[in-house]
Structure 1
């Protein structure tokens, strides 16, 4: 098994852009930990415990709202249930939760990679995003991370915000340069319908950033990070050699993974390798706390080889490695049609794709990866 994802649903407040499942009821943390441990233990003797677990990922929500002692209890439950062979244990945190002692405690329980949600060092942008931390807290946390002794840390950055200028983004990138982080996740702001930003756009109170400006931001991020020796390996992820996120890479490569906690998603291949199932826990903390995990059936979406092949192409074309043609034939029994081959040849002539044993997109192509994938899978 490639990994286990644990969803920690607690947040102090709602970020204006976020559509992940979260609650602002921290008084339920203790009950959540008890329920999570029960869910973990319910997997004993199941198919999910027959494969070694290579990566763990604590996401959210805000995992850093958990006490270190609570994280330790969760880790103990995982170790007593699964075959842990963890090369990477990632823990998401917010700058306003971090102390040197907390980082040291995380390291003691096995965390060797942390992902910090900075998003920006600009006070106005942080307020616009409704983040709980200040720029000063983010800078303080960067110093703590650099001195923590944790193997790898990653910093989240959001660009393409309404009103964000190229100069504002340059200032954020210059701040990051001072710390020389090993990994950066840089996301173009996506405005989802059910978020605060989505509602403001629907009411006409907010105008999204112009596409041309977002493209300038994309180019600036790639150029600036490349100059720091931090190279793109997926549309939104940049890392120094050896610092790439193994857990996320396994998502893109269609490895088995198990999601635990309310709202967590899972993906699992059937034993014959000809189909797979994708499912998720209900995004409802109250129901999660009342759940009898031993009797809960695993209901989900059954995916056939054609559906899996198309998803593999979609995931793979977001990465620098792309997708191997042989892999599609051998593992998915999927061959490109004449129309698809001709479309890719056109993309190559336009400087958006490179064809060979792999199909992969260039930097120019990665900017519109989703559009290229849609065209490729629907071309007649």
Structure 2
């Protein structure tokens, strides 16, 4: 059977007319797009199309009469790689077969990727008369490649975060643990000779250090809950002005009255419908930064206002401000500004604030003050009531 088929095909190929009919049938019915153009001109506007098969029409959305006489450049668009087109032109000028990937555009303007094999065709005298391009759509493959690259990039970022996390937590915990150990040893060996005030000072140091470590652990756990989708808003009605006054009073009590504080309310409604815990997380981290990065005696102002459907909190300080190169990475985990110097910190606060705001559909914006300091504007969507 195989021998009979081979003999029949051989006889067909010996007949020029039959061979031509066979090749025409292959081209017309091929699943891959086939385009035939004149060999020249290679410069603009380019060689004209003389034939396209049905697969080309299915791929691009064009009918044959819409492309015959035009050039393949009608398939190119703003995102077509110019470097790839330059390589293609070089191959054409050298009359060399080439294999290339291009981003093309369908008739409806949508993008699609193709892998194109292009070969020149010569006549009996050896003159090149046409180009034949066989094109296969590779959009799905390119999409999978992009998704794979994105996954690999995410894995690299996670690996870097894990390494950074181990390094950061080792350093951030080692320092307070050393302070606790030192204070405890001082109390053990010298406490009996100290005054009551000296002993209380060492105990306060231990308490403050433990509180700092506990806060860092709470921050890490909160980020874990947010990333796992276990943290959800639980809004309720409350007075935001009273809430902020109490929060600032807590800061003054815990951290001393080293700064001048002001809470200003320009609210038109007394109560709002928000999640108090998420609001506390956001404001606590922002207030902590304001205290940490501004000098003793400087002013810290928290102003409240509202507009239909939104409540705004504007925090201003007179601290070290922000460097322009830091703005794109302010909410990255463990990232700290270029100008923080030796001021201690974990680089978690703004990442936590941003996640809490995202959970509530809130917004945050930083502005550098004209003279010194930073202004932070945060907005929460809120139903309001008198």
- Coarse TM-score class (shorter-chain normalised): under 0.3
The TM-score with structure 1 as length reference comes to 0.20
Larger radius of gyration: 2
Structure that is richer in helix per residue: 2
Higher relative contact order (Cα pairs below 8 Å, separated by 6+ residues): 1
